[in-house]
Structure 1
Amino acid sequence: MSTPKPDFKIADVIADLTRGGMPLRFEAYDGSAAGPEDADIRLELVNQRGLQYLVTAPGDLGLARAYVAGDLVVHGEHPGNPYGVMAKLKDHTKFRAPTPSELVTIVRGLGLSNLKPPPPPPQEHLPRWRRLVEGVRHSLTRDAEVISHHYDVSNAFYRHVLGPSMAYTCAVFPHADATLEEAQAEKFDLVARKLDLKPGQRLLDVGCGWGGMVMHAAREYGVRALGVTLSRQQAEWAKGAIDAAGLGDLAEVRHLDYREVLESDFDAVSSIGLTEHIGIRNYPAYFGFLRDRLKPEGRLLNHCITRHDNRPAATGAFIDRYVFPDGELTGSGRIITEAQDAGLEVMHSENLRLHYAMTLRDWNRNLVENWDACVEEVGLGTARVWGLYMAACRVGFERNEVQLHQVLAVRTADDGSDGFPLRPSW
């Protein structure tokens, strides 16, 4: 491997190519530095492999690879919560295109060997084109594989990060000082109130995670609740939690794709954090399937991350490779349209964007407080991935780049009755 020429300053080149300039202090292993000298946060590029990551994937993917591998070190923030870094770098992660003369200088200065990409960190999932070769996108088998990639990490790790609720979806904070546990309980209860759950009714919770909604509906509302998840570890944990809570006569969780649920005539269906995984082109089948599971006047509550507009947009490379392979987002307008086209009557929509920013803030705090245990459970690289992704997503929600919508719909009866009062009751 060749080293950059002595008169070639790595930090100067990185700063020159950074869109909008270097917003924090950047230091490289060749002794060069760029950015404000009095910055509270410093980025240190510690070796040539990190340089290779940056120049061969010039954007969020290269930064993530170098950071996860330990080649790009943050000084001034805990790796479990690099929020300050992400807030400063959010609009500066992609390099501008170098001019032809700049490109020649960079190639000569770096040496050709530094332009060969090193193997990515082991936490990185296959690129999307490789996944297309190996299986049809959003088939039952491939969905099971990508869900396992993210959710079958470690139940103990998730317990450290998520807290006792084991709820890995946006909480609803009843007031600014509410704890994460209070906010997660309020989220489940808000869903229950919107669905107007009553004792003896039947609830289907698709993508049920560790069974939080299923157990809340059974314990607080006397509902017979069935949850399904593609994660085997989630299902096993949920079954144990249901038995420990003495809710086995009302609550059940199965390791099952929602498309394989055979029962119907449910009074309500909740979908909390599933829609992001199913693929936009599958929305008609998804909403149609859920409608067919409902009895007349049965309600559907769809809770999912959304974009701030309804225009098509690709998922960022870091999120796609490290966090949610095959995940897709769209705006609430598309969600509502597809629900309506599937024969559901949409009754209410609510944006909980800032609640998700607060949820991510608290998850990052939990990761920091339990850092040693988390690293012991999943390894340093994976722990870094989680700190980075949650901090970056928090910034996205704060800046209205992504949102979180709950859409409430009903299977209206043939005579037009919907079972709703004249004004919302929740």
Structure 2
Amino acid sequence: MSSRIAIADAVESLTVAGLPVRFTAYDGSSAGPADSTIGVRLTHERGLSYLLTAPGNLGLARAYVSGDLLLEGVHPGDPYDALVPLQDDLKFRRPRPAELVPLLRGLGLSRLRPPAPPAEERLPRWRRTVEGLRHSMGRDASAISHHYDVSNRFYELVLGPSMTYTCAVFPTADTSLEDAQREKYDLICRKLDLRPGQRLLDVGCGWGGMVRHAAREYGVRALGVTLSLAQAQWAKEAIDREGLGDLAEVRHLDYRDVIESGFDAVSSIGLTEHIGVRNYPSYFGFLRDRLRPEGRLLNHCITRSHNKTQETGPFIDRYVFPDGELTGSGRIITAAQDAGLEVMHEENLRRHYALTLAGWCRNLVEHWDECVAEVGEGTARVWGLYMAGSRVSFEHNTIQLHHVLAARTDEHGNDGFPLRPTW
């Protein structure tokens, strides 16, 4: 009969170069540098079952969200300082067949019975077909609701007064988050060359930040559409509160159901991640058809650092962005061009998103107790992990944020742009 194996010894035996932080487990075992200011603590045998039955980041996420795995030395609203060494210096190897069975027996075969996942977890992709095919209108509405209809109050606490849940633009590293979000909207307005009396369509408008900025600062008649009912309700109240009802409108609507056309400009800020790569041709074609000749489109979205096919990992897919898809800026530009748009300018704002996420994490830490009271500790932990982890990914150039500015040329090939950019 095999003797018990200490959990910490088992974990350390599977690392390539040892543990970069202190690891402790509920069986009293520990491993890793004793003087580390960062610790990982496994608090419950359920957490071990999560790790054994769902290897990779899904098991880790389940244990962390449930509170069975704690990161010590950091706040759960911003575990960035723990994620950096874990990302940079912790590498696991695949156990050899000869050691796998003794290892599992030593940890306890009963641990191989999968516990129920945390309530915050969505079904895997293949089981979501009850909601429709991937990126059908019904299934997209469900996915958007999962992420954005959490709680408007929660978003107010995390995002700050701007209620802007997309990458900000920082003129300097010490620019405040609010000023940087204002600069983002204004940069987009300048790239679109908005002028009083023009018509703007903002697809995936969120809480109406772009719609309100364009109406207030540029005198534009702006229409925003969002699949999130909670966002639409909040945006309508903000429009009324700011006295912009004669210029700005937000509808609870799928962008594919917008029937108006002839817009001077279209902005898409953080929507492309949700529509599916295979839908890019119809997406850009639809937006092109909403523009007048010489009208402009600004597409703002998270991208990968390459253009290869790569599914979103299970943590992001099941806890954060169900059915979300990313690809590289080359694929974005190709799809826009193939839809008949002339791409005029491209810009990578990767480092700006890292700064944005740092600001959101600071807000989550500052308002942690109220956020937990609003959405529950599990959801708050998901958000801290997701935002801090995304910050690391942007800093490491795993993901990027791109602006692609394009125009619908007229029948003679005129795009309406000056010889040099003016923004």
Q: TM-score range by the shorter chain?
A: over 0.9
- Secondary structure at the residue paired with 1:65? helix
The residue type paired with residue 90 of structure 1 is Q
**1:96 corresponds to which of 90, 93, 96:** 93
Identify the residue that residue 49 of structure 1 maps to in structure 2. Answer: 46
**Could you tell me whether the CA contact under 8 Å between 2:4 and 2:107 is conserved in 1?**
no
- Secondary structure at the residue paired with 2:230? helix
Aligned residues: 423
Task: Say if 2:132 is the partner of 1:135.
Answer: yes
- Secondary structure at the residue paired with 2:127? helix
Q: Structure 1: how far apart are the matches of 2:10 and 2:247?
A: 62
Identify the residue that residue 266 of structure 1 maps to in structure 2. Answer: 263
Task: Say if 2:294 is the partner of 1:294.
Answer: no
Q: 1:310 to 1:134 in 2, by over 3 A?
A: same
**1:374 corresponds to which of 363, 367, 371:** 371
**Could you tell me whether the CA contact under 8 Å between 1:58 and 1:95 is conserved in 2?**
no
Q: Structure 2: how far apart are the matches of 1:200 and 1:281?
A: 35
Q: TM-score, normalised by structure 2?
A: 0.98
Q: Structure 1: how far apart are the matches of 2:246 and 2:90?
A: 52
Identify the residue that residue 212 of structure 1 maps to in structure 2. Answer: 209
- Secondary structure at the residue paired with 1:205? strand
- Secondary structure at the residue paired with 2:319? helix
**Could you tell me whether the CA contact under 8 Å between 2:17 and 2:90 is conserved in 1?**
no
Q: 1:202 to 1:383 in 2, by over 3 A?
A: same
Q: Structure 2: how far apart are the matches of 1:102 and 1:29?
A: 23
Unaligned runs of 5+ in 1: none
Identify the residue that residue 154 of structure 1 maps to in structure 2. Answer: 151
Return the offset for 1:104: 1.2
Q: Structure 2: how far apart are the matches of 1:10 and 1:253?
A: 54
Task: Say if 2:386 is the partner of 1:393.
Answer: no
Return the offset for 1:214: 0.1
Unaligned runs of 5+ in 2: none
Q: 1:414 to 1:163 in 2, by over 3 A?
A: same
Task: Say if 2:308 is the partner of 1:329.
Answer: no
Task: Say if 2:161 is the partner of 1:164.
Answer: yes
**2:356 corresponds to which of 347, 359, 381:** 359
Identify the residue that residue 80 of structure 1 maps to in structure 2. Answer: 77
Return the offset for 1:63: 0.9
**Could you tell me whether the CA contact under 8 Å between 1:206 and 1:229 is conserved in 2?**
yes
**2:10 corresponds to which of 13, 19, 39:** 13
Return the offset for 1:101: 1.6
Task: Say if 2:271 is the partner of 1:240.
Answer: no
- Secondary structure at the residue paired with 1:243? helix
Q: Structure 2: how far apart are the matches of 1:7 and 1:425?
A: 70
Q: Structure 1: how far apart are the matches of 2:378 and 2:344?
A: 44
Percent sequence identity over matched residues?
A: 72
The residue type paired with residue 323 of structure 1 is V
Identify the residue that residue 249 of structure 1 maps to in structure 2. Answer: 246
Q: Structure 2: how far apart are the matches of 1:263 and 1:224?
A: 13
Identify the residue that residue 348 of structure 1 maps to in structure 2. Answer: 345
Q: Which segment is superposed worse, 14-23 or 259-268?
A: 14-23
Return the offset for 1:15: 1.9
The residue type paired with residue 159 of structure 1 is E
CA RMSD of aligned residues (A): 1.3
**Could you tell me whether the CA contact under 8 Å between 1:12 and 1:34 is conserved in 2?**
yes
- Secondary structure at the residue paired with 1:114? helix
Q: What do residues 358-385 of structure 1 show as CA deviations (whole Å, max 9, x unaligned)?
A: 0000000000000011001000110000
Task: Say if 2:381 is the partner of 1:384.
Answer: yes
- Secondary structure at the residue paired with 1:103? helix
Return the offset for 1:22: 1.8
Q: Structure 1: how far apart are the matches of 2:263 and 2:33?
A: 60
Q: What do residues 236-277 of structure 1 show as CA deviations (whole Å, max 9, x unaligned)?
A: 000000000000000000000000000000000000000000
Identify the residue that residue 192 of structure 1 maps to in structure 2. Answer: 189
- Secondary structure at the residue paired with 1:90? helix
Q: 1:137 to 1:92 in 2, by over 3 A?
A: farther
Q: Structure 2: how far apart are the matches of 1:93 and 1:252?
A: 49
Q: Which segment is superposed worse, 26-35 or 258-267?
A: 26-35
Return the offset for 1:107: 2.1
The residue type paired with residue 13 of structure 1 is A
Return the offset for 1:352: 0.1
Return the offset for 1:38: 0.9
Q: 1:420 to 1:275 in 2, by over 3 A?
A: same
Task: Say if 2:28 is the partner of 1:35.
Answer: no
- Secondary structure at the residue paired with 2:244? coil
Identify the residue that residue 314 of structure 1 maps to in structure 2. Answer: 311
Return the offset for 1:132: 3.3
Return the offset for 1:405: 0.1
Q: What do residues 327-365 of structure 1 show as CA deviations (whole Å, max 9, x unaligned)?
A: 000000000000000000000000000000000000000
